[in-house]
Amino acid sequence: MSRLPPIKNDQLSATQMKVAKAIQDGPRGNIPMTGPFGVWLRANTIGDAIQNLGASLRYETILEENIKELAICIVGHHYKAKFEFAYHETLAIQSGIPEEVLNDLKNDKIPSFTEERLELVFLISKQLLATHSVADDLYQRGFDEFNEQGMIELVSLIGYYCLVALTLNTFEIPLDEGMQDPFPDVT
């Protein structure tokens, strides 16, 4: 049960309607105002800035989709953000992430990777979430693989999805109908 009651379109202020329109007219398409968007919609200008940053990180980076989706799922797992993981698990599979990798994440196991780039994203993401930084050797490996811009985008993506996870968890945003609970033992 969400801490925020559902909000209907006829209850939105002019500013909130502008945020909803920006989300739905952007690269995400006509999506429902569930998940973090149902929260940020209520925050007017801040909500619009947050959703704009998210759209940029999802659709305007040099990082491949599988790199982004794996990092997002790692963040979702770290915070046990059910909506985040469930939503992006589907996108991760569509981007080529093997289901076994995602199942290992859900079950708190270290995945086996066949692609070194994906393993590198896993290592960088896990270390950043655990220690709030990345050690010199791992940073250099990431820099060599993704270059300066790619590393900036990867760290920014991870940070943004931490915000998403914290938003979802704080406001107890439920799964959408049809989503599978990735962490059924977590309340």
Residues 39 and 24 in one domain: yes
Has residue 70 been placed in a domain?
A: yes
Tokens of 75: 């963040």
Q: What is the CATH number of the domain that holds 156?
A: 1.20.1290.10
Q: Count of domains in the chain?
A: 2
Asked if residue 4 belongs to a domain, the reply is no
pLDDT, tens only, 70-129 = 999 999 999 999 999 999 999 999 999 999 999 999 999 999 999 999 999 999 999 999
Do 138 and 159 lie in one domain? The reply is yes
Q: State the number of CA atoms in the 13 A half-sphere of 69 facing the CB.
A: 19
* CA separation for the pair 58, 63 (Å, rounded): 9
Q: Which two tokens stand for residue 58?
A: 């999802």
Domain that holds residue 77: 65-170
In the three-class reduction of DSSP (H, G, I as helix; E, B as strand; rest coil), residue 124 is classed as helix
